[in-house]
Amino acid sequence: MDAIILQILNGLDKGSAYALIALGLTLIFGTLGVVNFAHGALFMIGAFCAVTLNRLLTLSHQVVDETRTDFLGNPLKVDVPYMHDLFGEATGAAIIDWSVPLAILFSIPVMIAVGVIMERGLIKHFYRRPHADQILVTFGLAIVLQEIIKQIFGANPIPTPAPDAFTGSFDFGVLLGFDPNAIIYPYWRLVYFAFAALIIGAVFAFLQFTTFGMVVRAGMADRETVGLLGINIDRRFTIMFGLAAAVAGLAGVMYAPINSPNYHMGMDFLVLSFVVVVVGGMGSLPGAVAAGFLLGILESFASMNEIKQILPGIDQIIIYLVAIIILLTRPRGLMGRKGVMED
C-alpha cells in the first residue's frame, strides 16, 4: 500500500507539469485554432527566468575580510552579494534563498511579453493556414529559442535550489497511519502540486466568472458571431496567448528545483504534453487537465520495478499506448468536442 501511495504522489507530481503545459496548449488551440509546437519552449524560458533572477540576486563584489587570512597571513578577499549591502546580511540572504518563488513575480510580465510578441509577430500570420504549416513554423521557432538559450546559458543543466525551508522531505506515511519513514516525499514536489492546482483553479475561475473569460469562451465556440457583436475578439485572443505563455512559464519556474533547467527541457515535455492534449480532447480544458494527471499517474506506476520486470521498457511507451487505445475507441479524445480536428 505504501508503494502505491508513493507512485500516486509521483504521478501527481509529473501530472502537474503535464497538466499545466497542456492547459496552455489547449487555451491557444481553443481560442486561436493554432497548433503551437513552441509551447514547450515557453516552459523552458520560464525555468530560465528562475535561473536569471537567481544570478541577478547573487551578483557580488569583493571586499577584504580582515578577520580571515590565507596561508601567508594576508587578509582574504571574499565575495559579498549586493543584496547584503542593500538589505543587510540576514534579509539579503533570505531574498537569495527565496529566489525561485520570487521568480514567479519576475516571470509573469516576461512571459506575457514573450507570448504577445510571438503571437503578434509571427503566429497571427498563420491563423488561416493549414495545421501542418502551423506545426512547422512553431517547431522551427522552438528550435530557434532553444538555441538562443543554449548560446546564453550553455549546454549543461544549471542547478536552481529550492528555498531551504522546502529542501527536506515530509513523512507522508505518518499522516496516513503508516510507520515512520514508510512514505517520504520531498516538500518541494508537494509545493509544486499545490501550486499547479492553484494555477489551474485560477485559470478556470477566470474563464468562468469574469466578463473577459465569458467573451473568450464565447469566441472559442463561435468566433464570427462574437465579432459581429462589435467585440474585438482578436485583441482578447492575443491577451489569452500571453496568459497561456505565462501559465507555461510559471510551470517552468516552479519546476526548476525539481529538474535543473537545460536548453532541451522544453522539447522533453512538449511531445508528452501534446499527447496529453490529444488524449484529453483537442480544445477541451477539463480534458487536458484530467488527461495530464491520468497519464502522469499511469507513467509513474509503469516505472515501478515490479512492472518493468514483467514488461521491460513499458515506462517509456505507456503514455503512447494509452493514447493509441483511447484514439482508436474515441477519436476525439476523452472530452473533445465533435468536429474538432476531424477535417
Among all chains, which residue has been given the C-alpha cell 493556414? 129
CB atoms within 10 A of CB 340: 16
Backbone φ and ψ of 66, nearest 5°: -70, -20
Average pLDDT estimate for 56-82: 81
Strand partners, 77: 64
Residue type, 292: G
- Coil, strand or helix at 291: helix
DSSP secondary structure letters along 51-99: HHHHHHHT-EEEEEEEEEE-TTSPEEEEEEEHHHHHH-HHHHHHHHHTH
Confidence band, pLDDT 50/70/90 cuts, at residue 171:
confident
- Domains of the chain, residue spans: 1-329
* Per-residue confidence (pLDDT) for residue 337, from 0 to 100: 65
Rounded average pLDDT over 333-341:
67
Residue 14, C-alpha cell as written in the block:
509529473
Query: Hunting for cell 537545460 — which residue is that?
Result: 262
Residue-level pLDDT at 219: 73
C-alpha dihedral over 232, 207, 133, 227, to 10 degrees? -20
Range picked from 50-54, 76-80, 273-277 for highest mean pLDDT: 50-54
Query: What architecture is the 1-329 domain classified under in CATH?
Result: Orthogonal Bundle (1.10)
Cell 475507441 found at: 329
Is the pLDDT score of 58 beyond 60? Answer: yes
Residues near 24 by beta carbon (within 8 Å), at least 6 away in sequence: 39, 42, 244, 245, 247, 248, 251
The Cβ of residue 290 has, within 10 Å, a number of other Cβ atoms equal to: 20
pLDDT score of 341 more than 60: no
In this structure, of 111-125, 223-237, 298-312, the range with the lowest mean pLDDT score is 223-237
Tell me the average pLDDT of the chain.
86
What pLDDT is recorded for position 339?
A: 54
Q: What is the CA radius of gyration of the chain?
A: 23
Residue 343 has pLDDT above 60, yes or no: no
User: 185 - beta bridge partners?
Assistant: 170
Confidence label for 134 from pLDDT (cuts 50, 70 and 90): confident
pLDDT tens digit sequence for 277-332: 888 887 788 888 999 999 889 888 888 888 888 888 888 888 888 888 988 888 88
> For the segment 254-263, what is each residue's pLDDT rounded down to a tens digit?
999 999 999 9
Q: Using CA atoms, how far apart are residues 183 and 185, in angstroms rounded to an integer?
A: 6
pLDDT on residue 236? 80
**142, pLDDT greater than 70:** yes
pLDDT: is 127 or 41 the higher one? Answer: 41
Query: Who has greater pLDDT, 285 or 225?
Result: 285
